[in-house]
Structure 1
Amino acid sequence: MKHITLGVLLFATTFVFAQENSEQPQLEDSSTEEAVSTDSSVTESSATDDSALAQTATLETASEQSPADEALPERTLEGYRIIRIQKTETKAFKDSVKRAERQIEEDKKPTIPFRFEVGLLASIGAKELFGSDRYAYYDRDRTSKEIEPVTLFHGYPVNVGLIATIPLNEATVAIKVGALFEYTNLIHNEDFFLKTNDSDESPWFEEKKREPEHGNISQMRVSFPLLFALKGRTTPAMFEVGSKISIPIQDKYKSVDFVDHNIRPAVDAALLIGGSFIINKYFTLMTHIEAQWSEIYDDELFVGVSDISLLGIHVGLVFTPF
């Protein structure tokens, strides 16, 4: 019995010792893991501190750089210099962009073309017949010795006839030709003396000899205008310049026709300048200034007046029925 009791105690002691030995490695492993984690946290903390110190040192270094260092060109890791090109919008560039935008908008507009057409023209206007007063006859109070123009007559011409448009390209250049009949009643603006075969050169002698004249002159003539018309592709307005040749039919004062007495030239030549505006396919508005550079009458017609010329303006409407 004693031996059995000793054996049991020995087995129990052995079992307890074995249990203690099996738990000891686990405790050592856990302590090892705690030690490793502690070491890693310490390492990370030290790395963070080192990074912060490095950044602080970098900032301090950057702040300590001199202006000369900052002025140095930027270079790559290989040592090549870096050149950065920035877009600069100069005035010439901006103007070119605006021109391009305007051209795009212009191209979008519809074309207003020239058409070959023959229309009926009716116009009214105003004109003045004037000359140079060599003797200050029409301005007695004038003290200047300069030759001044004097208006002898003024009137309101009426034109009717045909005018044709001949395009030279689609929409920008054309020629206009016409045949017109013109009638004008010229109203006297100043009293005047008509020269006669036995008249003296002095106007004051004529004034003492007889009373001055005052009356109207009626004119009729056939005119042939020739105009060059220029306009934009999309605009209905055009500029016109050209000439007009006129053949007098009648130029009558009282019972005297100046054409029959060869006092009136056989042909008149005048400069035309003005423009037209296309209202629609049927109507066009026209206006021209007429400046006649050839003398209207012989210098022997009016006492004290020479270089007789004409200046007028015409405003008309052209109707194109087809």
Structure 2
Amino acid sequence: MTPQIIEAAAARLAGHVRQTPLLSSPFLDRIAGRRVLVKAECLQHTGSFKARGGWAAVSALDAAARARGVIAYSSGNHAQGVARAAASFGVPAVIVMPSDAPEPKIANTRALGAEVVLYDRATGDRDAIGAEIAQARGLTLVKPFDDAQVIAGQGTVGLELAAQAAAEGVTQADVLVPCGGGGLTAGVALALEARAPGLQVRPAEPEGFDDTARSLAAGRIVRNEARAGSLCDAILTPSPGEITFPIMARLCGPGLVVTEDEALRAMAAAFAHLRIVLEPGGAVALAAALFHAPAMTGNAVIAVASGGNVGADTFRMALDRAGDTP
């Protein structure tokens, strides 16, 4: 992986994804005890940064492979990103999704024209299911994070962030990124290495699913014991990727781990002070910025708000935490 592949992805994505804003609020600064800047990828097409990786991967396929169609597995955000790209190119898309994925994500994926195949996250093997369908139908698998073109597409977040942070006068800061398998984290880290080396990426994860933090500490890939059981469904993965982990090990600082309650409180704070809607997995970086301030240094911190595809019941749970945040 090189910065050049991210630059190439950015050229293909031009006009097809949004440049999302870098938001701030003095109220969030007060909670964190330092300046907080929030990259609002929840305002991206399909409600998350995954629209970038989906478009980058589908647009990079040769015409014959793309015409046969694509397959992906996802709890919902990658699903919608790939489905949107496939629909735009007029090609078939099959998405393998866990049956416990939030209903809005399943419904939105179908609305984008994809065929959805559901499986039990606790007992099913999504890789095996996807491989069987791909072989039978001649589809190209677009992996959710361990794919060079997907990483490149997610890395365009970092290209934007480098320019936006510089415009805000921020050249030295931790950049906190919600992390599942590491596609966004690795992509942003590569982009910032080239464009803004004073900004260091640090992955943020939910408690109990902190495989990246533990892998970085151990210097090798370690896995989560559980496959399900967190509101942060968007970033529940067994382990970092074979492609993403070496990049993160070279470029990222120590991982940060937040509780589910902290993620919900961060969602409430984002809605109250920035007027944006986040899902739990998309809020873990902001939660780390707000509630784990001693783990960071410097006068500013940047948090990527990676997605906003949240169901009404979960969002109500978050808003109920509004009084728990200063």
Per the normalisation by structure 1, the TM-score is: 0.24
Larger Rg: 1
Higher share of residues assigned strand:
1
Higher share of residues assigned helix:
2
